[in-house]
Amino acid sequence: MSDETIISEELQSLLNVPFGPEVYDIEKGMVKKFAEAIDDPNARWQSETPPTFPAALVPTELIHRLFNAKSPLKRLLNGSSELEYLKPIKVGDVISVTGILTRLRQVAGAEGPTLFMFTEMTYTNQRGELVVKGKNTYVKY
């Protein structure tokens, strides 16, 4: 692999810049549809969200800018997601999500350069309580 960087100035400029908050009203219908989509009929999801639900709540500007930044790499996948639950998200909550790109890492992949983009998200309810912390790794290759 060449020593040439695939980390653009555009991506570099996003590092450590807070995005959001993006505000989501957690209503019963959206939680029901999510539970149906993951095929989990647990009655508990009548009043609170399933564990993977926060992954659907994102600061859209950050995600849009990461995914659409100019790059010679055209393929993208979600490399990993970690969610740390501090309090349940309940139907009726108003959740504010903020995110930040914390790190970019270029490595040599089997088919050429690979770019790892590391983000952190925070989820706060209407009472100002931190309810979930998330870390995601997105991979362009």
Q: Look at residue 109 in the predicted model and tell me its pLDDT.
A: 82
Question: Structurally, how many domains does the chain consist of?
Answer: 1
Q: Domain range holding 62?
A: 9-26+58-140
Span 87-124, pLDDT tens digits: 999 999 999 999 999 999 999 988 889 999 999 999 99
Determine, yes or no, domain membership for 68. Answer: yes
CB 95 within 8 A of CB 57: yes
* DSSP assignment of 41-84: --GGGGTB--TTGGGG---HHHHHHHHHS--S---EEEEEEEEE
Q: 41 in a domain, yes or no?
A: no
| Residues lower than pLDDT 50 in the chain | 1
- Give me the CATH number covering residue 111: 3.10.129.10
Dihedral sign for Cα 74, 80, 86, 87, please: positive
